[in-house]
Amino acid sequence: MVNHSSKSKKRRLTRNDRVYLLIVVSLAFFTNCSKKLTIGIIGDQFGAVNADSAFVILDQAVARMNKVNPDITLHVGDMVESIQNVNSYEDYQKIFQHAVNIMNQLYCPWIFAIGDHDVVPPIYKPLSEDRSREKWFLDQSTAYSLKNNGKLYYSYDIKGYHFIALYSLENLHTDPRWGSIFLNQISEEQIAWLKNDLSEHKKTNGIIVVIHHPQWYVWQNWSTIHDILKSYPVIAVIAGHYHYDQNDGVLDGIQYFTMGSTGGVIKDLDENSGGCYEYAVFYIKGRKLEEMHLYNVSTGNEVEITPRKTMDRIQAIACMLGNLSQDESMYLGQNYLMSTDNYGKMYRLDEIGLESLCNPIDLPIKVRVNYNKDLLYKTSWSNSSISGDSLYTLKPGERTGWANYASVGQWFKPQALWMAKVNLDNVVYSHKIDLNVCVNFIDTRERVIKNTTSYYLLENDDKNK
């Protein structure tokens, strides 16, 4: 009978073997941890008042980015315009070429997420079936050999890191804040692709996701995606679209960040609250996002990445200031001004007033109204001895019915908070009154939000009869 016991014994590791394995494992660990990656981020060019002006900003941002010389640059979308002043494929082709020629000046590879201005068709219709602009974008991407593999969503690798560009416009003309928010979702087909792509790259140094819409504004639309991402070495998810920056925080180890504008229209804010054109640089070491930096394109100065809570406050105040446009209507009567009441009845207008002024946030705000003294006089704050030229403080929630970052209003129209007499002759000559309203509040620093409201002298339209 043969004794197999000697053959079945496992060879014991010697002390030298154990030391060798420990060294190998340690080297692998520390090599992965020492991997470094520098990421540049560029924001939206559109919507913009003027395409040429938007591209001047992009050109400046690319020049500044080249001084950083990142390993890769991400464009968050809205690189071109599919509607405004675009009446043909040739118009689109021209603007696409302009954008790509600027981006190709980067010293590093660049990839992009596709935004709404890149692909939406001209007729506004949620769930539009007009996919013509998507085809235009893909045709141009192929013509210029852009790194999207001919798809609306795709992935890309560099220096051992994996980048995923998701497509948030599968349901055209939808939006996670201002539009049909429940429809702004990722399709099952794209989710299946995402799962497969992640599983194939789970051993990568780290994963960064870029998408145009910050779909986490509607968490029920995004939660499925987040639950998938958190099971993999995802370091950050980066979006654009809102034309203001904000730090959306870290959830399950994933940094969420919304990039500001790099040429698209911006609000009149201080530069540390999204009031400048921006570019960003992130530094990754191993699987950790070590540094996040945001810069003013015009000056190159570093500015604050605005906290989400601050930006929600700013957006609520901006909504309130936007409501001021509804506070007055002016028509020319018989040598005097007229307006309409809530029932459409005409009455003589001797003074204008701001009823929509309120405080929609949880901190005191200070309001100042600047105006043309040739058009208005005897300004005053209601129920106050304070001159209309002075700062006025509103307590948290004062005069507000409801408030969030997309809508502010009052249940009933209150008495005007600020009032002014009208110089009829000068208003008739100028045909409008401009009110420049400035709001300040302090949280982690002083915030400044400005807005100009214009009241035009309207055609009488027989309303005075």
Q: Are residues 359 and 252 located together in one domain of the fold?
A: no
User: Per residue in 264-303, pLDDT tens?
Assistant: 999 999 999 999 999 999 999 999 999 999 999 999 999 9
pLDDT value, residue 13: 65
Q: Are residues 393 and 332 located together in one domain of the fold?
A: yes
Split at pLDDT 50, 70, 90, the class of 393 is: very high
Residue 11 lies in a domain: no
Residue 465 lies in a domain: no
**pTM recorded for the entire structure:** 0.89
User: Per residue in 226-270, pLDDT tens?
Assistant: 999 999 999 999 999 999 999 999 999 999 999 999 999 999 999
Q: Are residues 248 and 355 located together in one domain of the fold?
A: no
Q: Are residues 279 and 332 located together in one domain of the fold?
A: no
The Cα–Cα gap between 437 and 9 comes to: 85
Looking at residue 288, which CATH number applies to its domain? 3.60.21.10
Domain boundary, last residue among 257, 272, 306? 306
Q: Is the dihedral of CA 102, 105, 106, 108 positive or negative?
A: positive
Domain boundary, last residue among 286, 306, 326? 306
Residue 134 lies in a domain: yes
pLDDT value, residue 461: 54
Residue 173 lies in a domain: yes
Question: What average pLDDT does this structure show over 428-454?
Answer: 96
Residue 12 lies in a domain: no
Split at pLDDT 50, 70, 90, the class of 1 is: very low
CA distances from 217 to 221, 225, 410 (A): 9, 13, 24
Residue 76 lies in a domain: yes
Looking at residue 330, which CATH number applies to its domain? 2.60.40
- 8 A C-beta contact, residue 32 and residue 204: no
Domain boundary, last residue among 280, 306, 332? 306
Q: Are residues 328 and 258 located together in one domain of the fold?
A: no
According to DSSP, the residues that pair with 445 across neighbouring strands are none
Question: Tokens 């809205």 appear where?
Answer: 78
Task: Kindly tell me if the per-residue pLDDT of 204 is higher than 80.
Answer: yes
Residue 142 lies in a domain: yes
Least confident of 13-22, 268-277, 421-430: 13-22
User: Per residue in 180-202, pLDDT tens?
Assistant: 999 999 999 999 999 999 999 99
Q: Are residues 294 and 337 located together in one domain of the fold?
A: no
Q: Quote the domain boundaries for residue 83.
A: 28-306
pLDDT value, residue 364: 98
Question: What average pLDDT does this structure show over 57-68?
Answer: 98
Question: What average pLDDT does this structure show over 55-64?
Answer: 98
pLDDT value, residue 343: 81
CB atoms within 10 A of CB 308: 14
Q: Are residues 58 and 160 located together in one domain of the fold?
A: yes
User: Per residue in 366-376, pLDDT tens?
Assistant: 999 999 999 99
User: How many residues does the structure list for the chain?
Assistant: 465
Split at pLDDT 50, 70, 90, the class of 179 is: confident
Q: Are residues 294 and 391 located together in one domain of the fold?
A: no
Split at pLDDT 50, 70, 90, the class of 20 is: low
Domain tally, the chain: 2
Q: Are residues 165 and 221 located together in one domain of the fold?
A: yes
Q: Are residues 291 and 330 located together in one domain of the fold?
A: no
The Cα–Cα gap between 16 and 458 comes to: 91
Residue 261 lies in a domain: yes
Task: Kindly tell me if the per-residue pLDDT of 448 is higher than 60.
Answer: yes
Average pLDDT, whole number, for the chain? 92
Q: Are residues 148 and 44 located together in one domain of the fold?
A: yes
